[in-house]
Structure 1
Amino acid sequence: MKKVWIPYLGALALTIAACGPKVTDNKTNTPPPPPPPPTLQVPAVAGMTEAIPMDPSVRMGTLPNGLTYYVKNNGKPEDKVELRLAINAGSVLEDDDQQGLAHFMEHMNFNGTNHFEKNELVDYLQGIGVKFGADLNAYTSFDETVYILPIPSDDPEKLEQGFTIIEDWAGGAKLETDAINDERGVVLEESRTGKGASDRMNKVTIPVQFYNSKYADRLPIGKDEILKNFKPEVLKRFYKDWYRPDLMAVVAVGDLDVAVMEQKIKDHFAKIPKPVNPRKRPVIELPNHPDTKVAIAQDKEATFASVNISYKDKVASTPTLTVGDYRDDLVNGLFSFMINNRLQELTQKPNPPFIFGSSSYGGTVARNKNAYSSFAGSAPDGQLAALKALLEENQRVKLYGFGQAELDRAKQAYGSFFDSYYKDRDKLESSRIVGQYVQSYFSKEAVPSIEWNYNKTMELLPGINVEEVNAKINDYIHDDNRTIVFTGPTTDTPPTEAQVLKVVSEVAATKVAPYEDTEVRESLIEKLPAAGSISKTTSNDKVGTTTYTLSNGATVTVKPTDFKNDEILMSAFSYGGTSLYSDEDAKKTGLANGGLTQAGVAGMSQTDMSKFLTGKLVNVSPRIGSLTESFRGSATPKDLEVMFQLIHLYFTDLNKDDEAFASFISKQKSFIGRMMSDPNTYFSNEINKIRYGSNPRYSGFPTEEKFDEADYDLAYKLYQERFADAGDFHFYLVGNIDKAQVEEFSKKYIASLPGLNSNESYKVNDWREAKGTRKKVVKKGTDDKSSVRINWSYEVPAYSAQENLAVDALGEALTIKIIETLREKEGGIYSGGARGSLRKTPYPAFSFGISFPCGPDNVDKLVDATMNEIDLIKKNGPSEKDLNKVKEGYLLDYKETVKTNRYWLNVLVDADEDKKDINKVLEYEKAVNALTAKDIQDAANKYLTKDYFLAILKPEDK
């Protein structure tokens, strides 16, 4: 897959990553008026054959045995290195008797290597704060396997062990028979978790999507029969054939000298022998076909209907190697951006043809095949309508193209994202950039520096014209190599292949109307009331905050940071929320509240707002919660004023639009209509009915009927009441803040809002969940799998920050034991864990939960094992070794998160909402270091009482 290397740009990243072949046929079809020129001339641009340079800060090399390496110094976060072992082998290379063993091999690298006996690897890493699953991980796909290891870089011994671990992963797996047999149960449990509606529908659709290709027969999870019965020699054959240095790359990115990392790689990997007469690594093809292939799969447990149209290229894709390739990728990305804006507009209609839709050009399952794909999520009985809408939008572009204004907006959006990415180039975390070097190894494409990306994009964007972007559709869409796939819930009259093909032919013959673009006004606020003032300024030097009290009573707290150059995060709250509604009004408006913002603000529709905000990296979302009304938002420093303007408008000028609300309701009903068909959703609902059904405010799971009853008028009226008084709101901004700007905007946009001095608080509901030991067995689903949940939830006399930490640590310690016992010892689960906390508002309360999926026949044994682990912690407390794992994990996480804007925003808001002393946040490390095994033992004995709810999901025939 060809990519423009702009990783992690949120939603737009998928568009920017869209890519494609060069324009080889510049002839256009003869469309209805207004026609484009009969011959398109792509602008002649100098330097198109220039090679894309590799980032000069990245040191690359190849060892004599064929292993490739990439090394880059990156100082964020401090004292940490991200290590990756990339293996150019996955499930598609398996022999017939090895299906599932590429993934099984990944598991075995955690179960006995040259330097770590079975379970010692995870045990060691947990001891230095690296969490299994959250930090330490791996994945296997069709063509590749990647191992993920973050490691501290400030301790030479830990660093050396980190490179020893990936050395073992590369060539030191022991593959002992007992360890292989022990791991079968874990892998089979992972396979079990993937079974269900999607898996059954995949068996119908994948042979069509991957027609006549080995990909259709090599899903990474493999076949249960093989996983249960393969001989160890079969796994060893896969390991010998494909785990070899000429098919491997080691990537090291982090806070360490490049020369040190490079030498570590040479010391650890140069000694791996070069293979003699290695098995050839084939390139697996996705063959062409001359027709349109259709697959329609329905399942009674499916909850979501989808439509996918894919036009696979006829020729093999080529990597992005030159400036011309890079420019072509930009053209493809601009096309995707514009078509997706049009599809988004369709979802705003009163009866939208789909819930959401998207189109893009990019890679497929095969490395050497690209495709143009259009996708939509629809109502179960709306797939043909969704198909028609997707085809019509593609047809509209084919006949008329995009307009210049659309392209200008797309360029503006690209320019803003590239600019923001460039400004934060020295603030990117290693985990966000290491993946591009892994993919560079697989794709053989260069990864240029962010400076090169930015400068080249800004140089190329102005010269891209609308005609060449419009011409892309003629390359994308064709009658051959096309697949159309429908998946969704069982319906009374399933669509047929004949109906699908009829829609295709009818749209192709239809002269759809041109797209009508609309102009958008130039300013958000056309008339602003007189500014207020700042009446008081206070500071907290310990935490680094300044708080402004405004003339209307509102407060604005700012914490300037240098964690990111182009990020400001915002949050705000006022007490009250729906707790001040009557029980009846709370139920009437619960579902309607989510649709209030769909109407836009200040007379601008959502579509208008989207156009106006193009190129502005800003968002603001109001919300009415159970205890507060609040805002969340973010902006770049240059867009900060727009964020303040949006806040002002959500207070004063939220639109009321029945059609926009009808569109919201239509989409919600389409989405939730079959949710109860999913066993896990049904299971959750049954649990909630028992736990919360006696609460007078409990409304249950949303249904189509409940959405029909949602009271928009009442929700809008109550919204206005909740946001009528800005004077009791607390605002928080964290990031690259210019305090003079914040002062100006606060006076202009917040202090000018009404301040009624209401100083409301929330009301505390008298309802409490029932106590006592309770058990519920729910039977739903046809697959042979179960789910277990154990929950404690009850009011406590008082909140204690120290006990809250102990309760959280209890969850971490118990998770370690659940993984050790239920997964590694019993082989009964793939994943599972525990989590707990104390809360202070609206009343002091304790909550704790344990959950894991498993086989139905193992439920009782695993529940007993879990309860036994709880009893052991109650009796003995966690071991010093486990306590150290928990504390090291806390300290390692804190060291990184304390230097993020999100962390500080959350702790500032949490402290004020719960009326806690914010200065206590500075004592976190001290509190962790003071945590003892007895603290956790005491928490277990005090809180894990007999007042728990045990819920078990079993299949219908058990």
Structure 2
Amino acid sequence: MLKNYLYCTLFILLLNFPHLCWAITPIDTDPAIETYQLENGLTVYLQPRPKAGLELRLIVHSGSLQENEKQLGLAHFVEHMAFKGTKNFPDKSSFKSLEEHGIHLGSHINAATSFNSTVYRLSLPTSTDQQVEKGLMVLSDWAYHISFESKDYESERDVIIEEWRLRQGVAYRINTILDELRYHGSLYADRAPIGSLDIIKNAPVEEAKTFYSNWYQPQRMSLVVVGNFDTKVAKQWIAKFFGQRPRGNAPVDVPQLRAFASQSEPLVKIILDREQGQRIIQLALQRNLPTTLNTPQGIKEDVFDLVWLTLLNQRLSLLVENQILPNSQVNQQGILFDDKRMQYLIFAQPKDQQYLDAIKHLFTELQRMSTNRVSEIELQQIKTQILTKLKQQLENESNYQNDYLANQLVNNITNSLPIQNKQQQLTQTEKILKKVNTEQLQTMVAERLNSADLRIAIIGPDSDEEAINISQIKQLWQSIRQTQLGDFSFKKVDVKLDIVPLEQGKIKTTRNISEIKAYEWQLSNGLRVIARPDNTLSSDVEILLQIPGGLSLDTYQQLGIMRWSQRLAEASGYGSYSAAKLNQFERQHQVSVYPYAELFYHGLRGKAPNDQLASLFKLFYLKLTAANFDPERLAKTKQKLGLAYEKQPVERQFLDLINKNAFNHGERLLVSPKGPWINFTVDQLKQYYSQTFNLPLSANIIISGRFNIDDIKPLVERWFAGLPVVDRKTTWIDNGITPIHHSMQKAYPMASSDKSMVSILYSEQKSWQLSDQLKLELLDYIVNLRLRHYVREQASGVYTIIFSQQLIKYPTSYYLARLNFTTAPDKVNALTLLADKVIQSVAHDGITLDELEQAKKSWLLDHQEKVTSSTYWLTAMAQIAADGDRFDELKTQPNIIEAITLEDTNHLAKQLLGKNPKIFTLLPKENNSLNQ
């Protein structure tokens, strides 16, 4: 900024090149965020607000791009070492110190290394003075005082290799080639944060220390503090902990670090894989930005991008609606690689193997927007859409969670974006949009298309090898770029649901559910509605229709028919509205309604902002009463999903093998390429849908979110109280799906990458009690900490290992636990034994009182966060409503947790943990060291 200002003081430049002087024009920044700099150059961002909790972020503006050829992967390695020990918190005591307060790795403590930065995160659910001081002290130690103990460094090598291994599979194979395409011609292509395995295995600790010393310097750091805190006190601690280190002399980044070589023609990659069951076209336009986006000119550029990308997305949606493309979508905001390089992404799916035809439509619409002016009507539609969305965001801004705001600040800081609140964004965008006309828009799109680098990826199954080649795509691009096209022929018309309910009813009775501050309504048609308004919740208003039955209703001759009937209804549309029209309606109003099917329940789920409740209820009614079933759509869906089933990733096949072998009647849990779905007819699916959505008296409707109860009542009466209801109560069917309660061990040498996956299931017969379920949740925290200590930290054998357990209540009560990890094939036997030994030791020897008290703190903190979500209340109320209406259990769970004793917990652990282990192992194809 200083250099730009100095350049602009030259009168001759001001006179002849006024556009160079954008940097001296001030930009409004969010007044709620205080920004200042310590003497050593570290920049601080403080955003105090009344919402409980505190979010801390340390941004080190150094990542894998700062590595030299001997350091590939060491930026990420340094991040790992921060958690191994520091000056004031040796031997991982920073973890232990925070875990004493219930704060744990993953949920509250984390870090991530990218190309340009490394970000450390601490989330403190409560912001006591002690916790704030401790959090800032931990962050400052990560910034300045990582210990780099040799034994920790050596053991962490294998953990990082296992992090690499965890990603292996079809997604990794495809993403590796996509990265080569995305970053071609730049240092980015050679600086993946995971780095070089050879360097990870062999680089001396001194090399990591050198990277840390060179690039972790205060003038290359930013500190973000968001939440409920005392600004004066926080500043004192920040000065104490972060002001101690003098400004460093880190090498200055040079522009060449992020420079991309220009390209004379499109870059194309065809990526075909035996485990890829979908066909996808990804078209990327990359350009160098004329200025960063936190300048007046940059903000204008960003708004222009929002306009043309939103308009292009609308046009592609119209092609989908008119069945020219099966599916297509534009990321309506560009993706920043850094503050000077932008990428615009466009996706499409071809009809069958017709890749070239789909690409032609994408090329055509890009060319059309660069040569032809859009219509005034189109432009005004897009402006209205953009402003409407910003106004909705402004209305909900006070409900944003601290972690969301902290992450937004990190994104804005690392990408040089303006730091503004929603009101400032709205005012600014309105001002810019007023001046945007069709001529300017066409010129801006043409400039972008002329200056951008085009990169295209074709992704599909290995059977498509003959379907397309690179030269065809390049020739097509050159041809269309020379074509003068006519105006876009399709017109967007806002979708209005012109429907009225056949009948309306009334709320007959009201009951206050005081335990959870909710209301129960009995409607005149017999349906029951439970509504819980809460203006402190973080997400949209959500509705759930819960009908007993679900997948349990499928007969063996028609396994899958529930989901297929719902799938066909969604593809065929409802009433007089096609699926594409309803998708457009959902986008217009930011609502979504879709059918679902679980093991014992099915129905509809929906959500919307609280200013779109009328649209939500209307769409809910339409999907309940007017499903269509189109034979052509069924044929296309079978063809599409048949390919997906045939090309299932190995990991999905492994899951099916586990379900088939570990459960009685496990075949009901499989996704079969040769299942009964092949022979489903339209009439079958229509009849089944009609039967399963014929509302019984046992159905419940649950509503949760930020709404006014008086606004909901008339909508419930208009759209729900008149629905036809069958005068009977239905239930689910017990198909005998239970774990096989004995030990087994099976291995499957079928993996397509160099990794082994282990899944251990434990099971036992056990009656259900809420207090026992809560004890198991406490044991989850303890067991996972022990597994992390013994399997990850001491054995250095895995990157992540997860243990979870629960008591199943219906239809037959039992205990079920799962332990999952990924590791190297040559370590799989030893680590499987070690992981099981950890479980067995908890069962045999129990846990300590300190472990129990720490687990209680963690549970209470996690629960405190959960109850701020409307989804939590929707799910919890639905479960209780379907099982005896014991709503007081939702209120009393924290009290039950507090009352749980060590003796009772250890007794339960001895009863259940480690029982009847069923060990399943996925091995590389050439490795068959375990008996099947």
TM-score by length of 1: 0.88
User: Are residues 1:226 and 2:195 paired?
Assistant: no
What SS class does the counterpart of residue 799 from structure 1 fall into? coil
Task: Give the match for residue 368 of structure 1.
Answer: 340
For structure 1, the residue ranges without an aligned partner over 5 or more in a row are 1-43
Q: 230, 239, 264: which is aligned to 1:290?
A: 264
What SS class does the counterpart of residue 190 from structure 1 fall into? helix
Which amino acid counterpart does residue 877 of structure 1 have in structure 2?
A: G
The whole-number CA distance in structure 1 between the counterparts of 2:900 and 2:776 is 11
Distance 1:664 1:519, change over 3 A: same
Which amino acid counterpart does residue 829 of structure 2 have in structure 1?
A: D
Query: Does the 8 Å CA contact 1:90/1:220 hold for their aligned counterparts?
Result: yes
Which amino acid counterpart does residue 433 of structure 1 have in structure 2?
A: L
Distance 1:636 1:373, change over 3 A: closer
Which deviates further from its counterpart, 98-107 or 144-153?
Answer: 144-153
User: Are residues 1:549 and 2:519 paired?
Assistant: no
Q: 40, 44, 47: which is aligned to 1:69?
A: 44
String of CA shifts for 1:70-127, please: whole Å, max 9, x gaps.
Answer: 0111222x1x110001011111111111110000000001111011112222222222
Distance 1:710 1:325, change over 3 A: farther
Distance 1:930 1:282, change over 3 A: farther
Query: Does the 8 Å CA contact 1:726/1:754 hold for their aligned counterparts?
Result: no
User: How far apart are 1:466 and its partner, in Å?
Assistant: 3.9
Q: For residues 675-686 of structure 1, what are the structure 2 equivalents within 5 Å?
A: 675=648, 678-686=649-657
User: How far apart are 1:576 and its partner, in Å?
Assistant: 2.6
The whole-number CA distance in structure 2 between the counterparts of 1:697 and 1:563 is 41
> Which contiguous aligned blocks of 4+ residues in structure 1 show a shift greater than 6 angstroms?
none
The whole-number CA distance in structure 1 between the counterparts of 2:95 and 2:302 is 41
Task: Give the match for residue 443 of structure 1.
Answer: 415
Which amino acid counterpart does residue 657 of structure 2 have in structure 1?
A: E
Task: Give the match for residue 167 of structure 1.
Answer: 140
User: Are residues 1:419 and 2:391 paired?
Assistant: yes
User: Are residues 1:392 and 2:364 paired?
Assistant: yes
Distance 1:401 1:627, change over 3 A: farther
Q: 860, 863, 867: which is aligned to 2:829?
A: 860
Let me know the Cα RMSD of the aligned residues.
2.9
The whole-number CA distance in structure 1 between the counterparts of 2:108 and 2:374 is 44
Task: Give the match for residue 658 of structure 2.
Answer: 687
The whole-number CA distance in structure 2 between the counterparts of 1:309 and 1:544 is 50
User: How far apart are 1:51 and its partner, in Å?
Assistant: 3.1
User: How far apart are 1:392 and its partner, in Å?
Assistant: 2.9
Which amino acid counterpart does residue 423 of structure 1 have in structure 2?
A: E
Task: Give the match for residue 269 of structure 1.
Answer: 242
User: How far apart are 1:237 and its partner, in Å?
Assistant: 0.9
Q: 804, 817, 827: which is aligned to 1:835?
A: 804
Q: 751, 754, 760: which is aligned to 1:784?
A: 754
Q: 443, 454, 458: which is aligned to 1:486?
A: 458
For structure 2, the residue ranges without an aligned partner over 5 or more in a row are 1-18, 928-932
String of CA shifts for 1:464-495, please: whole Å, max 9, x gaps.
Answer: 33443344331232387333333444346354
The whole-number CA distance in structure 2 between the counterparts of 1:522 and 1:443 is 37
The whole-number CA distance in structure 1 between the counterparts of 2:137 and 2:494 is 61
Task: Give the match for residue 108 of structure 2.
Answer: 135
The whole-number CA distance in structure 2 between the counterparts of 1:435 and 1:459 is 27
Distance 1:355 1:525, change over 3 A: closer
The whole-number CA distance in structure 2 between the counterparts of 1:521 and 1:341 is 11
Query: Does the 8 Å CA contact 2:559/2:675 hold for their aligned counterparts?
Result: no
What SS class does the counterpart of residue 929 from structure 1 fall into? helix
Task: Give the match for residue 433 of structure 1.
Answer: 405
String of CA shifts for 1:774-817, please: whole Å, max 9, x gaps.
Answer: 111011234321111001346x4531101111222222221111
Task: Give the match for residue 577 of structure 1.
Answer: 550
How many aligned residue pairs are there?
A: 904
User: How far apart are 1:510 and its partner, in Å?
Assistant: 5.8
String of CA shifts for 1:125-145, please: whole Å, max 9, x gaps.
Answer: 222111212221000011111
User: Are residues 1:457 and 2:393 paired?
Assistant: no
What SS class does the counterpart of residue 425 from structure 1 fall into? helix
Q: For residues 638-787 of structure 1, what are the structure 2 equivalents within 5 Å?
A: 638-669=611-642, 671-675=644-648, 678-692=649-663, 694-695=665-666, 697=668, 700-703=670-673, 708-725=678-695, 727-787=697-757
Query: Does the 8 Å CA contact 1:409/1:614 hold for their aligned counterparts?
Result: no
Q: For residues 929-948 of structure 1, what are the structure 2 equivalents within 5 Å?
A: 929-944=898-913, 946-948=915-917
Distance 1:348 1:123, change over 3 A: farther
User: How far apart are 1:324 and its partner, in Å?
Assistant: 5.1
The whole-number CA distance in structure 1 between the counterparts of 2:179 and 2:598 is 42
The whole-number CA distance in structure 2 between the counterparts of 1:377 and 1:129 is 46
Query: Does the 8 Å CA contact 2:183/2:189 hold for their aligned counterparts?
Result: yes
Task: Give the match for residue 28 of structure 2.
Answer: 53
Query: Does the 8 Å CA contact 2:659/2:666 hold for their aligned counterparts?
Result: no
Query: Does the 8 Å CA contact 2:285/2:453 hold for their aligned counterparts?
Result: yes
Q: 224, 247, 255: which is aligned to 2:228?
A: 255
Distance 1:81 1:668, change over 3 A: same
String of CA shifts for 1:807-832, please: whole Å, max 9, x gaps.
Answer: 22222221111111000000000001
User: Are residues 1:329 and 2:280 paired?
Assistant: no
The whole-number CA distance in structure 1 between the counterparts of 2:90 and 2:921 is 35
User: How far apart are 1:203 and its partner, in Å?
Assistant: 5.6
The whole-number CA distance in structure 1 between the counterparts of 2:693 and 2:128 is 52
The whole-number CA distance in structure 1 between the counterparts of 2:434 and 2:638 is 41
Query: Does the 8 Å CA contact 1:589/1:710 hold for their aligned counterparts?
Result: no
Task: Give the match for residue 56 of structure 2.
Answer: 83
Percent of pairs with identical residues: 24
String of CA shifts for 1:846-896, please: whole Å, max 9, x gaps.
Answer: 221000001111111111111211121112212233223321111111222
Distance 1:773 1:571, change over 3 A: same
The whole-number CA distance in structure 1 between the counterparts of 2:276 and 2:701 is 43
Task: Give the match for residue 14 of structure 2.
Answer: none
User: How far apart are 1:634 and its partner, in Å?
Assistant: 1.7
What SS class does the counterpart of residue 97 from structure 1 fall into? coil
Which amino acid counterpart does residue 847 of structure 1 have in structure 2?
A: L
Query: Does the 8 Å CA contact 1:309/1:482 hold for their aligned counterparts?
Result: yes
Which amino acid counterpart does residue 253 of structure 2 have in structure 1?
A: R
The whole-number CA distance in structure 1 between the counterparts of 2:925 and 2:715 is 60
The whole-number CA distance in structure 2 between the counterparts of 1:685 and 1:384 is 35
Q: 920, 927, 931: which is aligned to 1:951?
A: 920
The whole-number CA distance in structure 2 between the counterparts of 1:135 and 1:378 is 42
The whole-number CA distance in structure 2 between the counterparts of 1:467 and 1:891 is 58
String of CA shifts for 1:309-350, please: whole Å, max 9, x gaps.
Answer: 33332x444122345543432231122223223334545676
Task: Give the match for residue 73 of structure 2.
Answer: 100
The whole-number CA distance in structure 1 between the counterparts of 2:184 and 2:41 is 34
What SS class does the counterpart of residue 685 from structure 1 fall into? helix
The whole-number CA distance in structure 1 between the counterparts of 2:400 and 2:413 is 21
String of CA shifts for 1:419-467, please: whole Å, max 9, x gaps.
Answer: 2211122211110011232233323443112221233334544553344
Task: Give the match for residue 341 of structure 1.
Answer: 314
Task: Give the match for residue 5 of structure 2.
Answer: none
Distance 1:765 1:500, change over 3 A: same
User: How far apart are 1:836 and its partner, in Å?
Assistant: 0.8
The whole-number CA distance in structure 2 between the counterparts of 1:917 and 1:481 is 61
Q: 191, 194, 201: which is aligned to 2:164?
A: 191
Which amino acid counterpart does residue 752 of structure 1 have in structure 2?
A: G
Query: Does the 8 Å CA contact 1:304/1:380 hold for their aligned counterparts?
Result: no
Distance 1:629 1:209, change over 3 A: closer
String of CA shifts for 1:544-572, please: whole Å, max 9, x gaps.
Answer: 11111111001122222121498422222
User: How far apart are 1:279 and its partner, in Å?
Assistant: 1.8
Q: Relative contact order: is structure 1 or structure 2 higher (C-alpha 8 Å, sep ≥ 6)?
A: 1
The whole-number CA distance in structure 1 between the counterparts of 2:841 and 2:885 is 34
Task: Give the match for residue 882 of structure 2.
Answer: 913
The whole-number CA distance in structure 2 between the counterparts of 1:726 and 1:741 is 26
What SS class does the counterpart of residue 367 from structure 2 fall into? helix
User: Are residues 1:629 and 2:598 paired?
Assistant: no
